[in-house]
Amino acid sequence: MNAVLGPVDIVVLVAFLASAVAIGLFAGGRTRTLDAYLLGDRDLPWWAILGSIVATETSAATVLSVPGESFGAAGMRFLQLPLGYMVGRLAIVRFLLPLYFRGDLNTAHEVLRDRFGPLIQRAAATLFLVARNLGDGLRLFLAALVFQKLSGLPLAWSVGVMGAVTILYTVLGGLRSVVWNDCLQLVIYLIGGIVAVFVIVARIPGGWPAAWEFAAAGEKLRVFDFSFDLANPYTFWAGLVGGAVLSLGTHGTDHMMVQRYLSARGEREAARALLTSGVVVFLQFALFLGIGVLLAAFHSLGGEAAPSRPDEVFATFIIRHFPANTGLIGLLLAAILAAAMSTIASSLNASASSMIHDLWLPLRAASGRRAPLAPGAALTLTRWLTLGFGVVQIAVGIAAAGFAATVVSRALTIAGYSAGLLLGVFVLGAATRRVGQEAALVGGTAGLAALLTVQFVLPGAGVRIAWPWYALIGAGVTIAVGWLAATVVPRRTTA
């Protein structure tokens, strides 16, 4: 072990990892059916779903990279984005949530099957599975980099340890384990963030007054920027419009989030959890952005040179300045792991859910094997699928070590394409009856082509568009081309 982690820190870290497995064991004792494993018997309280939503959308990249944003030129202007997230959540409750509580659905993609047919369901599920497991494998790699620095373990071992513990409690307890672990992990990384604030302020010459004066003088506390610049991700318009559409896609059509709504005791409870989560996410972003502003004050007023990469500034401070062998470094490492593991566990359970309900069981029935899969066999298969997706994400995380940082960043962006594309298909299905599944597929393909053009072709021509607009572009092109294609491609009646 690296000397950064003292015995007390190791005890704190081991206690956190053991608690995650213990929750999985406890939840597993109540899991006897596929519905219990994947949807918690549709009986989870709204406040637990709220905690799970927030923890799931908070990855280790949020905990480490968001302070890097406010450390740099963006300051607190990043907060314009979660304002858009709240608007998007309102739209989800009004337009999309009712779709998921019609009938007895198991996945978000079954809505598309009922509207378009099985081909769209399979295409959406495949896109979801590829995007989720690629993106979350890369997020596992980014979190493992910090774990490696603090623990001294080789990177592959760091990826493996984090992945193995997450797989274990997810396989054991299913969604109940994931949700209750998410709640625990949310508390841990918020406590870690609050502790970090006081440790940083204690290291700033002049303390709180000096930090506040520095932030005000450097316009670090400015929240709103009403300029219109498509290349700038931190304007009011990018935050409000781009953030709202992005949230519509990530929280309205991504099965990882929809699975939580379906596990609620009803539509009203799901809406309550989703809307309240928007406020909690806003406050959470304010906390970690504040950490970045304090770190900027520390480096400016204390004279210590900052790391060359802003997204490394928080991790570097933890390593250099947190008091050794007091448990605080172990707590912060547990907080970073908690943020990563909450996202990965949710990804594994949602991937298994989509694979079994969107692909395996429908294809099994279509092949002529009409006898339903026995409940015990279905549950066992789903556990094996969860394990399989975990192995895939660990493999992606280990492979990412050989990629350049720019490759990882671009791959994460590509993994986020699904939000806009799926949102476009959902809108085509909900807003019109003239678009069939072939036209919807054409629209989705065009949306993907447009996003690839925006990210890889336009910058070469000197045109840059900031990432908050990507979901809007993907959804907009999908809707427009799908609508136009419906005039050329005849609509077929679905079975």
Residues 57-98 pLDDT 10s: 988 778 888 999 999 888 999 999 999 999 999 999 999 999
In degrees and rounded to multiples of 5, residue 44 shows phi and psi of -90, 140
Q: pLDDT class for 104, splitting at 50, 70, 90? A: confident
**Interatomic CA distance for residues 390 and 489, integer angstroms:** 40
Q: Residue 3: what pLDDT?
A: 45
Nearest to 349 by CA among 80, 69, 136: 136
- pLDDT tens across 162-183, in order? 999 999 999 999 999 999 999 9
Question: Is 2 a residue whose pLDDT tops 50?
Answer: no
291, 314 Cβ separation under 8 angstroms: yes
- pLDDT tens across 254-278, in order? 999 999 999 999 999 999 999 999 9
Query: What is this structure's pTM?
Result: 0.93
Q: Residue 150: what pLDDT?
A: 79
Question: Is 390 a residue whose pLDDT tops 50?
Answer: yes
- pLDDT tens across 274-305, in order? 999 999 999 999 999 999 999 999 999 988 88
C-alpha gyration radius of the chain = 22
Lowest mean per-residue pLDDT among 101-105, 198-202, 472-476: 101-105
Q: pLDDT class for 479, splitting at 50, 70, 90? A: very high
Nearest to 394 by CA among 138, 36, 197: 138
Task: Give percent above pLDDT 90 in the chain.
Answer: 70
- Position with higher pLDDT, 407 vs 436: 436
Both tokens assigned to 200: 């940083």
- pLDDT tens across 326-358, in order? 888 889 889 888 988 999 999 999 999 999 999
Q: Residue 172: what pLDDT?
A: 92
Count of Cβ atoms closer than 10 Å to residue 236 Cβ: 17
Where do the structural domains in the chain lie, given as residue ranges?
7-366+374-403, 416-495
Q: Residue 495: what pLDDT?
A: 43
Rounded mean pLDDT of 428-445? 92
Rounded mean pLDDT of 386-390? 97
Q: pLDDT class for 407, splitting at 50, 70, 90? A: low
- pLDDT tens across 466-478, in order? 999 999 999 999 9
> What is the signed CA dihedral for 228, 234, 237, 238, rounded to 10 degrees?
110
Question: Is 489 a residue whose pLDDT tops 80?
Answer: no
Q: Residue 493: what pLDDT?
A: 46
| Secondary structure of residue 21 in the 3-state scheme | helix
Fold of 7-366+374-403: Sodium/glucose cotransporter (1.20.1730)
Question: Is 406 a residue whose pLDDT tops 80?
Answer: no
Mean pLDDT of the chain: 91
**Interatomic CA distance for residues 336 and 428, integer angstroms:** 39
Which letter, b or e, does each residue of 306-316 get, where b requires 16 or more Cβ atoms within 10 Å of its Cβ?
beeebbbbbbe
- pLDDT tens across 440-456, in order? 999 999 999 999 999 89
**Interatomic CA distance for residues 260 and 254, integer angstroms:** 11
- Position with higher pLDDT, 280 vs 487: 280
- pLDDT tens across 206-218, in order? 999 999 999 999 9
- Position with higher pLDDT, 224 vs 312: 224
Q: What does the DSSP assignment read for 245-312?
A: HHHHHHHHT-HHHHHHHHTBSSHHHHHHHHHHHHHHHHHHHHHHHHHHHHHHHHHHHH-PPPPSSGGG
296, 71 Cβ separation under 8 angstroms: yes
Question: Is 487 a residue whose pLDDT tops 70?
Answer: yes
